[in-house]
Amino acid sequence: MENSKNLRPLGQTKMMVTPIGLGCWQFSKQNNMAGKFWPSLDDQLINKVVALSLEGGINWFDTAEIYGNGASETALSKALQVSGKKPDEILIATKWWPMFRFASNIPKTINQRLNFLSPFAIDLHQVHQPWGFSNERSEMKEMAELLERKLIRNIGVSNFSAQQMKNAAETLDKKGIHLASNQVRYSLLDRTIESNGILDMAKNLGVSIIAYSPLAQGIVTGKFHENPQLLKNIGFRKYSSQFKPQGLEKSRPLVLLVKEMAQKYQATASQIALNWVINYHGNSVVAIPGATKEIHVKENTGAMKFRLSNEDMLRLDQASTIFK
């Protein structure tokens, strides 16, 4: 694989991933409330997005139960098969949705996850949110049992606080299992994990951070600053403070710096932003940008083909400290 030299272990596990994977929320086909955040992509486009991701060197894909009640998992599996991929040639991460459920639901729904993703395995199974009726210790005990039964290969969490992540890691440690990852929102425009203890705790525990929304839903590229008309067609996102006029003004200086660096490196703004996310903290952070167009995939994969200088990473760090 072209990027094999760039492979990183996910946490302290044997799961070796490219610094960038593909987030697959947009494959939900508008099947449920979570699916309504995206337009419905036809199978041909989904197949193309997955094929281009593979061609660009990406070796892992992140999906979830809540993404269309399995629609994303099913679409991903079909697209990988169309691309000629066989089990064990790529890695798949998915997530269990905890809302209004107890930890005992984890083993009850694992067959559904496996059926939707068949013939591919679950290389990383994650608890999607810390919102269930059971606590993280109970959830990790159920996850550990699935791992011991060889139904999943690694265990992760998502949106967990520093303390919740620590509790999860300690529970797994007692069974000789490493917590692989915590999937959280992280970008140049949202560096909260650096101030709330999550990143420090992850580093201390040897847990990888999987950054979702690494492009701050497109804001960091400057397209909304240049053309505010685009704000009319972004759905629920327009209610976020970062998309309001004062939010866009706050991010404008950083966006201008990102664009300046894009010219310097002959890259795109999104590639500069992604490159910073996956390199600024060494190997601690990997990212899962989504893609609804072929050009998005090429930009995502291209972000792995160069590296910002330490000096430029520091300039971006200083320009984005207001977002910690």
Nearby residues of 262 by Cβ (< 8 Å), 6 or more positions away: 268, 269, 271, 272
pTM here?
Answer: 0.95
**Rounded Cα–Cα distance for residues 239 and 247 (Å):** 11
Whether 97 contacts 69, CB under 8 Å? no
Q: Model confidence over 231-265: pLDDT tens digits?
A: 777 666 667 888 888 989 999 999 999 999 999 99
DSSP helix/strand/coil, 187: strand
- Tokens in use for 315? 């300039």
Task: Spell out where the chain has E strands.
Answer: 8-9, 16-17, 22-23, 60-62, 91-96, 124-127, 155-158, 179-185, 208-212, 285-287
User: Domains in the chain, ordered, with CATH?
Assistant: 4-216+281-309 (3.20.20.100)
Would you write out the chain's pLDDT as a tens digit for each of its 324 residues? 334 458 999 999 999 999 999 999 888 666 655 555 656 677 899 899 999 999 999 999 999 999 988 999 999 999 999 999 999 999 999 999 999 999 999 999 999 999 999 999 999 999 999 999 999 999 999 999 999 999 999 999 999 999 999 999 999 999 999 999 999 999 999 999 999 999 999 999 999 999 999 999 889 998 988 988 887 776 666 678 888 889 899 999 999 999 999 999 999 999 999 999 999 999 999 999 998 899 999 999 999 999 999 999 999 999 999 999
pLDDT tens digits along 152-200: 999 999 999 999 999 999 999 999 999 999 999 999 999 999 999 999 9
The alpha-helical segments, DSSP class H, found in 127-244 are 136-148, 162-173, 198-205, 223-226
